[in-house]
Structure 1
């Protein structure tokens, strides 16, 4: 078979070659093209070629640049001459993924490939139009050699003051055609001259082998211990975040996302920096554990309750699997160059994020037991992916992935852990449930109004204690601190002072200190004396002295209070804001309904709207082998159909000059014959106005005086009235 084009090459390859091509470039069969001609058009399109080039390592890309620097057709020998003997294996790979293809007279590049690579591959200019003797460049005067030294390794363009009076060095080069003028102020070095001056090579250095990853060696046991601690921590972070939002939902920004002020509040609550807080919020968002309600408040979704009922391994896998494939990059939050990017905002998508993330973890997996140095790691990832889209972000994406993998527990002390290895291999992660520290059902209350949890608490105890105390420090043991504000919070949630004392006495293995008892009793006594409702808001208190104190408190002037009765004060602020301002001033109000009932009780807000996880932007997943084989069969079938259609169109064109003419009996005999033989027919058919047109059909059956057949022009099954058929001819 003669091969003159990329389409001809694709028609010549076998199914195994198609399997390799589609595995490396799944975008070619998403969706499946109808035939090989359409496949060739898609494979030669700029977006598809860009994706294919992104998959190359540095050496493969250097060989491709060298091929782009040669005139077509070229041979393996010419590629090796300007690169290295190792170019042979790289060339085989480039052919297998369709970036180079063999033709009858040598190898060629698909159309548009040079445009995707750039007009100056490897810093080389265009080929010279005029014939030049490149060896004569060695005779260049010293001034000309200085000019050439600046242009040898690119960029090949240089500026001159005036092309008509360029100076002696440039003038000699222009005269000998070793420089070519582009305009009045620009000259360019021809490709042949540059390659000769480079010693017959295209690149200054050939990066044939991947750089060795440098880093500190880690003990496997210590790595796994650190990783399981990180897994426990990240699960606790997500749970604490969502419990906080269940109690105090944040308001989303008008443009979408979480405001800087709310991010700082969350950061303080979790005890981590803002970059880590942004990462935790993104984890919850990706796993559909949070939702934005109709009032644009951010709060847990109903899926959070389901998530809490799962095993730790399942909970962790939900978070890690979504993080691995997402195109969202939480590291952009707080970045100096991205001042307007907000956590949970719509600006966090980057098309190559998941690719860089997967590549980073793959390098860690290949170098188990090593915590890489960042500079060395960047060298390795630059060799593995030298021309990624958004390449300016590549190093930052890799460093953010290393940091986030540590937070997640995929790595420990910088090296990949056994949990990360099993996660990447798709293994069962039940080992996480076994290795996590066992939960404890008790605390140790101290005399300074603190309590120590000597390990991870059972879920119910943890929830109750989080209501009554704030976490002061985290680690192997968690320290909780009781204060007036935390006891008031528990009372707001419907607890009584006695219930708080009973819970702490039952849960603590140490006796409750007297100062804590007094604190609980004192806050319980004060709590609820003030009642706040909506007028916008009213404040009611049976203690008239306390009402007088509030009216005279300058810290509450912002409320613009008005006393309408000895025990009632009203204001224009909302009840929620009024309660917040009173609490900041040291008072302990409680909510009250319109019927006078004190509004206390457990508050666990859940969004009524269905969570909408972000879509993944960017890369196409590699199909399964079954899907690949199905796509190959569809393309082969479509190609046969296209070939048949071409043949029929040619036959139709030849018959247009003489429409078939047959009698009615001959028409019926031929129609019945070719229905049985399932062959195509050429017919003349008269329309409503008597004009006869030529049709190519596949007859199916005769029914009620009409021929039912598939019309090749439309591809649809149509009904042809037999009296209107002027003649039938076989093809």
Structure 2
């Protein structure tokens, strides 16, 4: 075994980048850490070690057990041979063992050493002690970790079932893309408040569920997919679309699915990605949970929750269907997003760029619309139902909204005529003309005055009185002004959008009375939170303490080493400078340090010795053979 003393020396010798990388992977107490000995103590504390051991997979835990059972450091080949003979890790290759040992060394759980010129590793005493205590805590023993073989591999999904799986997965993938599109549109119209503890406020969940035509419990899944793809973010406590959302919304359906699937794959932890790739042709359901329980024996529930979160999103995105990987899903985890998209594209329905305009003011698309067509059509008409054949409805309010956003009556007519398979029905033409004539009858401008920030005017006095008494606008505190206008203490943009939502034909004006087009959609530009790296602060503080010690650093380091050896009752080899200049080694079991002297029992001569600290030139842990 290797002691705290060895870890303290190793920590001091690591460069800042390696030390910081190791500390950022560990949970440990920082209070009272004044030097590297204190840090080593904190890292080998039982609670800190347990937190580091619990998430490890079985091959890494098995490697620790092999090291714990050895009397001295083991070479990589010795560890690999022991693991290859164990039922839990039978047939493990040497590269996997090297990777596991390097990872454990990076976690500061094992100590790199040399054995006859070969790479070797030893286990710290605190880690060995914690593993030995596992059975008393209801966790697997060393025999269990080495002796429990993995669950049997499953047979692949039959081709007949895969064809059904592929059809269902393609339907879900298409619906997921449509749902995320609706999510971005709805969040662009009105953001959703994020709760302080995470998640969405209940009113926002209900509103989004209705807009997306999803069950309420699937709204967080859609939001998660959009967030991972970088399409939404939190800005000032509100979920809003990002700058990337507009480009995504105008991309073909296959490209949009690729972005969502690639984000899902990128979010997979490396161990889970490897596991899913190995099971890319077999069902992921209960068998995957069983395998995860075997693979992470010290954190079964946490590991299964982690898997469930990723597999639930995979089911929603069409990576799987009924927990069986689709052909596109298998390609995704085996080869990547491009291969998966090539497979999924063959399953998607073809996009169309023509619609049926009907006399009842409805617009029916015979298939999924091309994104650029759908995007503009949504600005002119209301979406009534979304499926492979979506239905829109054009209304006075929707045309007025389009005119407010910058469309013109002639532009709307030209667009609808170009995409219509049935021409431009007369009722639609009349509706556009009437909406254009009414548009702008209500005007909002900025105003200056005590407690006044905007004014509403209209040549239609009756319409103005209607606005004044409209209870839906009561929050604007509209009041008659001296010039016959309605004045408000709210800004022009707030008043404008309130009137627009209430379906009044309103336009905004600048200070000179010229019409301006207001853009309502907010885009998330979250400010990066200042990072407070406590590990970096600790490393800097320890290095500064070493530098401040100056010439006393060596003496202070030696004193702390000796003090630690006394407390641990650890046999040590002391290098002592004799009066004639020779350096003599003494194998001691130290019993105390004080008054400038070291006291201890000489194991070779079987006598008590007292040595002046000023003569001590160095020390090292006693090798096993010297004990």
TM range (shorter): 0.5 to 0.7
What SS class does the counterpart of residue 387 from structure 1 fall into? Answer: coil
Please report how far the alpha carbon of residue 387 of structure 1 lies from its aligned counterpart in structure 2 after TM superposition: 1.8
Residue 398 of structure 1 corresponds to: 307
Distance 1:50 1:653 in 2: 41
Does residue 487 of structure 2 align to residue 538 of structure 1? no
- RMSD between aligned alpha carbons? 5.5
Are 1:215 and 1:372, in contact at CA under 8 Å, matched by a contact in 2? Answer: no
Q: 1:572 aligns with which of 486, 489, 495?
A: 489
Are 1:291 and 1:612, in contact at CA under 8 Å, matched by a contact in 2? Answer: no
Does residue 219 of structure 2 align to residue 270 of structure 1? no
Please report how far the alpha carbon of residue 55 of structure 1 lies from its aligned counterpart in structure 2 after TM superposition: 3.5
Please report how far the alpha carbon of residue 478 of structure 1 lies from its aligned counterpart in structure 2 after TM superposition: 2.1
Distance 2:293 2:222 in 1: 28
Are 1:406 and 1:413, in contact at CA under 8 Å, matched by a contact in 2? Answer: yes
Does residue 135 of structure 2 align to residue 122 of structure 1? yes
Please report how far the alpha carbon of residue 543 of structure 1 lies from its aligned counterpart in structure 2 after TM superposition: 0.7
Distance 2:156 2:334 in 1: 24
Does residue 356 of structure 2 align to residue 444 of structure 1? yes
What SS class does the counterpart of residue 363 from structure 2 fall into? Answer: strand
Distance 2:60 2:231 in 1: 43
Please report how far the alpha carbon of residue 312 of structure 1 lies from its aligned counterpart in structure 2 after TM superposition: 6.1
Q: 1:422 aligns with which of 328, 331, 343?
A: 331
Distance 2:530 2:377 in 1: 34
Please report how far the alpha carbon of residue 442 of structure 1 lies from its aligned counterpart in structure 2 after TM superposition: 0.9
Please report how far the alpha carbon of residue 493 of structure 1 lies from its aligned counterpart in structure 2 after TM superposition: 0.8
**Cα 1:311/1:429, change in 2 over 3 Å:** farther
Does residue 70 of structure 2 align to residue 56 of structure 1? no
Residue 514 of structure 2 corresponds to: 597
**Cα 1:536/1:298, change in 2 over 3 Å:** farther
How many pairs were matched up?
A: 485
Please report how far the alpha carbon of residue 464 of structure 1 lies from its aligned counterpart in structure 2 after TM superposition: 0.4
Residue 295 of structure 2 corresponds to: 384
Deviation string 1:29-60 (CA, Å, 9 cap, x unpaired) is 999xxxxx9xx999978657755663434x99
TM-score, with length taken from structure 2: 0.60
What SS class does the counterpart of residue 536 from structure 1 fall into? Answer: strand
Distance 1:29 1:246 in 2: 37
Please report how far the alpha carbon of residue 320 of structure 1 lies from its aligned counterpart in structure 2 after TM superposition: 3.4
Ranges in structure 2 where 5+ consecutive residues have no aligned partner: 8-20, 27-36, 73-84, 116-120, 447-451, 534-572, 583-613, 619-627
Matches within 5 A, 1:144-543: 207-210=148-151, 219-249=161-191, 259-290=201-232, 298-305=239-246, 307=248, 316-326=257-267, 354-355=268-269, 364-368=276-280, 370-374=282-286, 376-388=287-299, 391-427=300-336, 429=338, 432=341, 434-435=345-346, 436-534=348-446, 535-543=452-460
**Cα 1:658/1:403, change in 2 over 3 Å:** closer
Distance 1:539 1:372 in 2: 61
Residue 339 of structure 1 corresponds to: none
Q: 2:577 aligns with which of 646, 654, 657?
A: 654
What SS class does the counterpart of residue 398 from structure 1 fall into? Answer: helix
Distance 1:431 1:64 in 2: 38
Please report how far the alpha carbon of residue 384 of structure 1 lies from its aligned counterpart in structure 2 after TM superposition: 2.4
The structure whose RCO (Cα within 8 Å, separation 6+) is larger is 1
Does residue 480 of structure 2 align to residue 563 of structure 1? yes
Distance 1:456 1:250 in 2: 27
Please report how far the alpha carbon of residue 467 of structure 1 lies from its aligned counterpart in structure 2 after TM superposition: 0.8
Ranges in structure 1 where 5+ consecutive residues have no aligned partner: 11-25, 32-36, 74-83, 125-153, 156-194, 196-200, 327-353, 618-649, 660-692, 697-711, 713-731
Distance 2:128 2:574 in 1: 39
**Cα 1:429/1:325, change in 2 over 3 Å:** closer
TM-score, with length taken from structure 1: 0.53
